[in-house]
Amino acid sequence: MNNKIIIKVSEKLVQSGMVPVFYHEDLATCKNIIKACYDGGLRVFEYTNRGDKASVNFPLLKQYINDHCPGMILGIGSIINKEQTEHFISLGADFIVSPILEEEIAETCNKRNMYWIPGCATLSEIARAEKLGADIIKIFPGNVLGPGFVKAVKGPMSWLKLMPTGGVSPEEGNLKAWFNSGVVCVGMGSKLLTNEAISNTKVLTVNVSETLKIINKIKKKK
């Protein structure tokens, strides 16, 4: 994979410390959520391939970000095979996220100079993902594995860059447990993007800003 691409995406993920994970079929809603996250300080967003409108909305959201959210990168999540990978690369994805470790995704992304984040649930999967060229590895499902799993994995493999998704909330105690276990960033879905936040994006902007402050405070104390 192109080193410049690795550095660009990896830096965005680590600097942000948090990746919002979201799908909605309504394009206007998606734009509002992305802008609210951007206004709150985020520069990375994961739109998930979890509905029929994902392929239609994604390139339009990419264009919206280019026009209204300079410096933000947009990835596609919930990718499970080579065909989906190739499709969303053609639609302009900045990075690919998968809930599983699928070698065809790794091979496709490496050939196309596309940053990819595989989902892993065992130490063997993590080791295989690293061998295939993964930079940041998604720990999934985070709510099942927990911070203790990350801490145990980081014992023999302290250099790993891990990102849990699932079981992550904006509460300081939860974030402290994850970051103190050794993660470099977290994926956050419904705990951040609540129904209230979706219907009132001013609330979301405040929540994002406050969550980023908490994450930065935790990082400084490490």
CATH of the domain at 141: 3.20.20.70
Q: What are all long-range contacts of 209-215, with beta carbons under 8 Å and residues at least 24 apart? A: 209/40, 209/41, 210/170, 211/18, 211/170, 211/175, 212/16, 212/17, 212/18, 212/40, 212/41, 212/42, 214/170, 214/172, 214/175, 215/17, 215/18, 215/175, 215/179, 215/186
Tokens of 141: 């499902």
Residue 110 DSSP SS3: helix
Give the structural domain span for 41. 3-212
Strand partners, 161: 136
Give the residue ranges of DSSP H helices in 112-141.
123-131
How high is the pLDDT of residue 35? Answer: 99
Residue 222 lies in a domain: no
Query: Whole-angstrom Cα distance, residue 17 to residue 42?
Result: 9
Q: Where does residue 169 rank: exposed (0-12), middle (13-18), buried (19+ CB within 10 A)?
A: middle
Position 220 in a domain: no
| Tokens, residue 30 | 């998606």
Residue 168 region by backbone torsions, left for phi larger than 0, else alpha for psi between -120 and 50, else beta? beta
Q: How many domains does the chain have?
A: 1
Residue 16 placed within a domain? yes
In a domain, residue 205? The reply is yes
Pairing of strands 186-188, 161-164: unpaired
Within a domain: 179: yes
Residue 42 is assigned to a structural domain of this protein:
yes
Q: Is 27 a member of any domain?
A: yes
Q: Give yes or no for a contact between 122 and 141, defined as CB atoms under 8 angstroms apart.
A: no
Q: What is the pLDDT along the chain (222 residues), one digit of tens a residue?
A: 567 777 889 999 999 999 999 999 999 999 999 999 999 999 999 999 999 999 999 999 999 999 999 999 999 999 999 999 999 999 999 999 999 999 999 999 999 999 999 999 999 999 999 999 999 999 999 999 999 999 999 999 999 999 999 999 999 999 999 999 999 999 999 999 999 999 999 999 999 999 999 999 999 987
Would residue 221 be called left, alpha or beta, if left means φ above 0 and alpha means ψ between -120 and 50 degrees? alpha
For residue 6, what pLDDT is reported? 76
- For residue 2, what pLDDT is reported? 62
The reported pLDDT for the residue numbered 1 is: 56
Residue 19 belongs to some domain of the structure: yes
For residue 42, what pLDDT is reported?
A: 98
